[in-house]
């Protein structure tokens, strides 16, 4: 028999193992995909414990935080096992449903000792936070993952259904059943289900399959995995289903973690777990309210492994385990130990292989080296090209030098011969010694030039070699989150540069995981101006002209000898002339301050201009107030962006490179 399992990938194997033990061929086709939330911000400050209502929540929490010392309270044993497997040191299991979890928390913890953090999915039914809130606790719900439906049935499953090769299908929640029905109708395969039996965890799941022409729909007596398996095993025993092979072990001998069942994960599929205890079905079609809530990694129903008391665990399973199972376990353990030993020998071979005699080294394999990264490979290629060019230049330089020396020697020999025979005819107007000295100096100059060029090329090759080594060290340490943060900062800086509002571009930075509390002040500055934007440097330059004119007009005209200076300065400011004065006339007071600020603006020194204008008082200061506010905002935003850029560069190794 071929049995279709529709649970999410993370939990499907717990159901597939006992099915294979019955002799079934399992076809895994998840109807939901568990997706971790991007960059969740989990703040454990002041939290006394974390609450988990699903195995998927335990996995997502382990990915979101580094700490493993925080106490964890899990709704059931399966969730508790997953939390311990993720490294959490202190894990408590309620062994039941949300109500028992709330009772356990209220019994062990004190509301005065801190908040509680509920690690959950994006879809939740019920109100665990409200139940504990009624008991005085403060609960913070953090979304860590989402359960998303698949787009359609896979081609392999469509082919198997068309060929009538699926004998049975197992559904653990109304949501998976509903998604399966929609996919079947969308693929026009409803008639292919007439020979298939569906096994539903509860009546609510069975109702979600209504309308499909199934051979029959079998409903478990209790909403637990073991109840479904018992139903399937009874059908195999009665001949309704035919096993592909002789069952390897009865159901009660299946591995403990495959048999035990806390219920079904209240977040992973449809978040009906918590509300199910009140009889509420997420699809709104379960008026009987007969589905109870436990946790099992998929989201809705369950009970204990076989209906036993929660305090009656299978902790002593090894004491009653059959001897043959112990033998199989011992073989598996020793096999794993052998595999680890061989792996250790292979991994450490580069270190001990050279110590062996050459004949033995030849018997061992040689593993290829890992390929360089694209950046390192590119630099190595450029280095090889420059090395080849240098060798060519050396050969060319040697040939050119030899040819030049030979030519000079022949020329000098000819001139010497001419001088020895007819000195006055060879150089009638030039001293013979001077002519020879000039020729030798020309040759020496060319040799010096070629030597300098060779030295320059050697220096460039050395610099490129150093850059390759630096990049080889830095690239492996690069944090991809820092690269993403630097890109977001660049997009934000472009918005600021253009004077646009940048609230949407700022959102990714506020949840960036690599920014700690040291950068809260920078984010606060950016948030204060995100909805309005800040004035650009060009706008501030243009606004300075009008502001300086208004401020200058507040100054009374002096009398006497200072009037000429006043009129010159005022004319300079009014006409936007910012050339520095070369005379010795003092520039004091408001006009002097405005003139010096205009000089700084002309030099693109906005900060110096703001500092200078800070000396204005009275009516002049009032005239400059609006412009000063815009300038302060521009400088504050620019400083905040510089601080965040430094943090991103530190994450990608920017602090270690000189480039």
DSSP track, 625-641: HHHHHHHHHHHHHHHHH
Of the ranges 267-271, 325-329, 404-408, 468-472, the best mean pLDDT one: 404-408
DSSP track, 127-182: -HHHHHHTTT--EEEEEEEEEEE-SS--HHHHHHHHTT---EEEE-SHHHHHHHHH
Q: Is 461 in the same domain as 539? A: no
Q: Is 526 in the same domain as 658? A: yes
Task: In whole angstroms, give the CA distance from residue 101 to residue 409.
Answer: 102
Task: Check residue 479 and give its pLDDT.
Answer: 66
Residue 274: pLDDT over 60: no
CATH number (domain holding residue 60)? 3.40.50.10090
Task: Check residue 179 and give its pLDDT.
Answer: 96
Task: In whole angstroms, give the CA distance from residue 633 to residue 502.
Answer: 14
Q: Which residue, 514, 506, 510, is CA-closest to 533?
A: 506
Residue 430: pLDDT over 70: no
- Give mean pLDDT, residues 614-631: 92
Of the ranges 179-193, 421-435, 479-493, 501-515, the best mean pLDDT one: 179-193
For residue 170 the two structure tokens come to 């197992």
Residue 292: pLDDT over 60: no
- Determine phi and psi for 218, rounding to 5 degrees: -105, 130
Q: Which helix (H) or strand (E) holds 91?
A: strand 91-93
Task: Check residue 316 and give its pLDDT.
Answer: 33
Task: Check residue 368 and give its pLDDT.
Answer: 61
Q: Is 296 in the same domain as 181? A: yes
Q: Is 469 in the same domain as 592? A: no
Task: Check residue 313 and give its pLDDT.
Answer: 32
Domain boundary at 286, 306, 326, which? 306
- Give mean pLDDT, residues 325-354: 82
Tokens 């002097």 belong to: 592
Residue 622 within a domain: yes
Query: Tell me: the pLDDT tens digits for 371-399?
Result: 556 767 777 777 888 888 788 877 777 77
Task: Check residue 245 and give its pLDDT.
Answer: 58
- Give mean pLDDT, residues 523-549: 90
397 compared with 526, residue with greater pLDDT: 526
Q: Which residues of 350-382 are buried (b: 16+ CB within 10 A; e: fewer)?
A: eeeeeeeeeeeeeeeeeeeeeeeeeebeebeee
Task: Check residue 589 and give its pLDDT.
Answer: 83
Task: In whole angstroms, give the CA distance from residue 9 to residue 29.
Answer: 8
User: What percent of the chain has pLDDT above 90?
Assistant: 34
* Cβ-based neighbours of 40, under 8 Å, separated by 6 or more: 60, 64, 142, 143, 144
Q: Which residue, 271, 280, 252, 231, is CA-closest to 123?
A: 271
Q: Which of 268-272, 378-382, 562-566 has the lowest mean pLDDT?
A: 268-272
- Give mean pLDDT, residues 114-139: 85
Task: Check residue 477 and give its pLDDT.
Answer: 56
Q: Is 408 in the same domain as 446? A: yes
200 compared with 451, residue with greater pLDDT: 200
Residue 577: pLDDT over 70: no
Task: In whole angstroms, give the CA distance from residue 13 to residue 8.
Answer: 9
Task: In whole angstroms, give the CA distance from residue 184 to residue 196.
Answer: 13
Of the ranges 134-148, 480-494, 582-596, the best mean pLDDT one: 134-148
Residue 333: pLDDT over 60: yes
Domain count, the chain: 5
Range of the domain at 272: 2-32+150-306
Q: Is 596 in the same domain as 498? A: yes
Tokens 């591995």 belong to: 255
Q: Which residue, 31, 27, 14, 64, is CA-closest to 295?
A: 14
Task: Check residue 199 and give its pLDDT.
Answer: 96
Residue 351 within a domain: yes
Determine contact, residues 9/34, Cβ cutoff 8 Å. yes
- Give mean pLDDT, residues 146-151: 90
Task: In whole angstroms, give the CA distance from residue 68 to residue 89.
Answer: 6
pLDDT band, residue 486 (cuts 50/70/90): confident
Task: Check residue 232 and give its pLDDT.
Answer: 95
Angle of CA points 525, 531, 532, to nearest 5°: 90
Q: Is 491 in the same domain as 587? A: yes
Angle of CA points 184, 169, 310, to nearest 5°: 130
Determine contact, residues 227/261, Cβ cutoff 8 Å. no
- Give mean pLDDT, residues 140-155: 91
Query: Tell me: the pLDDT tens digits for 411-421?
Result: 777 777 776 66
Q: Which residue, 306, 473, 282, is CA-closest to 373?
A: 473
Residue 378 within a domain: no
- Give mean pLDDT, residues 498-526: 83
Angle of CA points 541, 547, 551, to nearest 5°: 140
Task: Check residue 314 and give its pLDDT.
Answer: 31
- Give mean pLDDT, residues 347-375: 74
Q: Is 46 in the same domain as 14? A: no
Task: Check residue 137 and give its pLDDT.
Answer: 95
For residue 478 the two structure tokens come to 């690069």
- Give Cα 241 distance to the centre of its chain: 47
Q: Is 470 in the same domain as 483? A: no
Query: How many residues in the chain?
Result: 659
Task: Check residue 384 and give its pLDDT.
Answer: 83
- Give mean pLDDT, residues 98-125: 88
Of the ranges 221-230, 423-432, 476-485, the best mean pLDDT one: 221-230
Angle of CA points 132, 205, 159, to nearest 5°: 130
Residue 307: pLDDT over 70: no
Task: Check residue 570 and give its pLDDT.
Answer: 60
In terms of C-beta distances under 8 Å and separation of at least 24 residues, what long-range contacts does 275-282 make, across chains too? 275/125, 275/126, 276/125, 276/126, 276/300, 276/301, 277/97, 277/98, 277/99, 277/126, 278/126, 280/125, 280/126, 281/174, 281/204, 282/125, 282/174, 282/175
- Give Cα 461 distance to the centre of its chain: 37
Sign of CA dihedral 155, 161, 163, 166: positive
Residue 287 within a domain: yes
Q: Which of 184-193, 257-266, 311-320, 352-361 has the lowest mean pLDDT?
A: 311-320
Task: Measure Cα distances from 449 to 98, 307, 444, 562 in Å.
Answer: 86, 94, 9, 63
Q: Which residue, 227, 226, 222, 230, is CA-closest to 292?
A: 222
pLDDT band, residue 581 (cuts 50/70/90): very low
Residue 312 within a domain: no
Q: Which residue, 597, 657, 599, is CA-closest to 627?
A: 597
Residue 636: pLDDT over 90: yes
- Give mean pLDDT, residues 288-303: 36
Using DSSP's 3-state secondary structure scheme, residue 389 falls into: helix
Q: For all residues of the chain together, what is the average pLDDT?
A: 77
Task: Check residue 460 and give its pLDDT.
Answer: 79
- Give mean pLDDT, residues 93-97: 83
Q: Which of 90-99, 531-540, 568-577 has the lowest mean pLDDT?
A: 568-577
Task: Check residue 239 and give its pLDDT.
Answer: 87
Determine contact, residues 285/222, Cβ cutoff 8 Å. no
Output the furthest CA–CA distance in the chain (Å, rounded): 132
310 compared with 29, residue with greater pLDDT: 29
Task: Check residue 572 and give its pLDDT.
Answer: 60
In sequence order, the β-bridge partners of residue 439 are none
Residue 545 within a domain: yes
Query: Tell me: the pLDDT tens digits for 174-232?
Result: 999 999 999 999 999 999 999 999 999 999 999 999 999 999 999 999 888 899 999 99
- Give mean pLDDT, residues 150-166: 95
Q: Is 436 in the same domain as 464? A: yes
Q: Which residues of 154-189 are buried (b: 16+ CB within 10 A; e: fewer)?
A: eeebbebbeeebbbbbbbbbbbbbbbbbebbeeeeb
Strand pairing report for 197-200 and 216-219: parallel
Determine contact, residues 32/148, Cβ cutoff 8 Å. yes
Determine contact, residues 139/118, Cβ cutoff 8 Å. yes
Task: In whole angstroms, give the CA distance from residue 271 to residue 560.
Answer: 88
- Give Cα 307 distance to the centre of its chain: 43
Q: Which residues of 576-589 are buried (b: 16+ CB within 10 A; e: fewer)?
A: eebeeeeeeeeeeb
Q: Is 404 in the same domain as 457? A: yes
Task: Check residue 117 and give its pLDDT.
Answer: 94
Angle formed by the axes of helices 503-510 and 480-497, nearest 10°: 160
Q: Is 407 in the same domain as 439? A: yes
- Give Cα 320 distance to the centre of its chain: 47
Residue 376 within a domain: no
- Give mean pLDDT, residues 295-324: 35
Residue 372 within a domain: no
Cα R_g (the chain), whole angstroms: 41
Task: In whole angstroms, give the CA distance from residue 493 to residue 56.
Answer: 38
For residue 658 the two structure tokens come to 């000189």
Task: Check residue 318 and give its pLDDT.
Answer: 35
Domain boundary at 424, 441, 476, which? 476
Determine contact, residues 249/39, Cβ cutoff 8 Å. no
Task: Check residue 329 and give its pLDDT.
Answer: 73
């Amino acid at each position: 028999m071929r049995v279709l399992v529709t649970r999410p990938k993370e939990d499907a194997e717990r159901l597939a193992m006992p099915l294979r033990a019955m002799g079934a061929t399992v076809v895994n086709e998840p109807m939901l995909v568990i997706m971790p939330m991007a960059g969740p911000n989990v703040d454990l400050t002041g939290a006394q414990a974390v609450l988990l209502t699903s195995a998927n929540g335990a996995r997502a929490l382990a990915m979101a935080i580094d700490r493993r010392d925080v106490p964890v309270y899990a709704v059931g044993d399966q969730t508790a096992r997953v939390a311990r497997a993720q490294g959490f040191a202190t894990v408590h299991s309620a062994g039941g449903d949300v109500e028992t979890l709330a009772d356990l928390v209220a019994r062990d913890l004190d509301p005065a000792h801190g908040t509680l953090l509920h690690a959950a999915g994006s879809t939740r039914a019920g109100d665990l936070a409200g139940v504990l809130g009624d008991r005085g606790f403060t609960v913070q719900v953090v979304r860590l993952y989402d359960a998303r439906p698949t787009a359609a049935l896979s081609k392999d499953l469509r082919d198997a259904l068309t060929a009538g090769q699926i004998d049975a299908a197992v559904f653990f929640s109304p949501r998976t059943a509903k998604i399966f029905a929609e996919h079947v109708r969308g693929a026009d395969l409803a008639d292919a289900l007439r020979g298939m039996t569906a096994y539903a965890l509860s009546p609510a799941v069975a109702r979600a399959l209504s309308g499909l022409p199934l051979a029959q729909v079998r409903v478990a007596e209790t909403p637990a995995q073991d109840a479904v398996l018992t139903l399937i095993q009874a059908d195999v025993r009665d001949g309704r289903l035919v096993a592909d092979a002789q069952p390897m072990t009865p159901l009660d001998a299946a591995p403990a973690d495959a048999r035990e069942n806390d219920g079904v994960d209240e977040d992973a599929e449809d978040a009906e777990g918590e509300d199910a205890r009140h009889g509420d079905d997420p699809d709104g079609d379960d008026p009987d309210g007969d589905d109870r809530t436990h946790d099992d990694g998929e989201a809705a129903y369950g009970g204990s492994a076989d209906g036993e008391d929660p305090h009656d665990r299978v902790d002593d399973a090894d004491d009653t385990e059959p001897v043959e199972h112990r033998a199989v376990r011992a073989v598996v353990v020793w096999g794993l130990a052998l595999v680890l030993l061989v792996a250790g020998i292979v991994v450490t071979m580069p270190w001990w292989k050279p110590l062996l005699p050459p004949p033995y080294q030849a018997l061992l394999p040689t593993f290829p080296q890992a390929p360089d990264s694209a950046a390192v490979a590119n630099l190595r290629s450029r280095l090889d090209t420059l090395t080849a060019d240098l060798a060519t230049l050396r050969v060319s330089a040697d040939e050119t030098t030899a040819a030049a020396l030979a030519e000079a020697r022949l020329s000098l020999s000819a001139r010497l011969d001419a001088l020895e025979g007819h000195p006055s005819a060879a150089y009638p107007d030039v001293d013979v010694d001077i002519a020879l000295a000039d020729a030798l100096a020309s040759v020496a100059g060319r040799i010096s030039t070629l030597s300098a060029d060779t030295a320059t090329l050697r220096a460039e090759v050395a610099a490129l070699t150093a850059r390759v080594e630096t990049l080889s060290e830095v690239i492996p340490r690069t944090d991809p989150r820092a690269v993403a943060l630097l890109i977001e900062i660049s997009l934000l800086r472009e918005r600021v540069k253009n004077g646009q509002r940048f609230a949407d571009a700022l959102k990714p930075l506020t949840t960036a995981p690599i920014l700690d509390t040291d950068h809260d002040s920078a984010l606060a500055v950016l948030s204060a101006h995100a909805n309005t934007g800040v004035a650009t440097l060009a706008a501030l330059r243009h606004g300075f002209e009008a502001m300086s004119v208004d401020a200058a007009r507040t100054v009374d005209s002096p009398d006497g000898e200072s009037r000429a200076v006043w009129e010159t300065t005022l004319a300079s400011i009014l006409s936007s002339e910012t050339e520095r004065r070369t005379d010795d006339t003092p520039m004091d007071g408001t006009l002097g301050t405005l003139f010096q600020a205009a000089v700084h603006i002309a030099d693109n020194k906005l900060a110096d201009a703001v500092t200078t204008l800070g000396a204005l008082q009275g009516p002049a200061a009032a005239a400059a107030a609006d412009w000063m506010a815009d300038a302060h905002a521009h400088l504050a935003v620019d400083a905040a962006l510089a601080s965040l850029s430094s943090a991103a560069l530190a994450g990608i190794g920017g602090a270690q490179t000189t480039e």
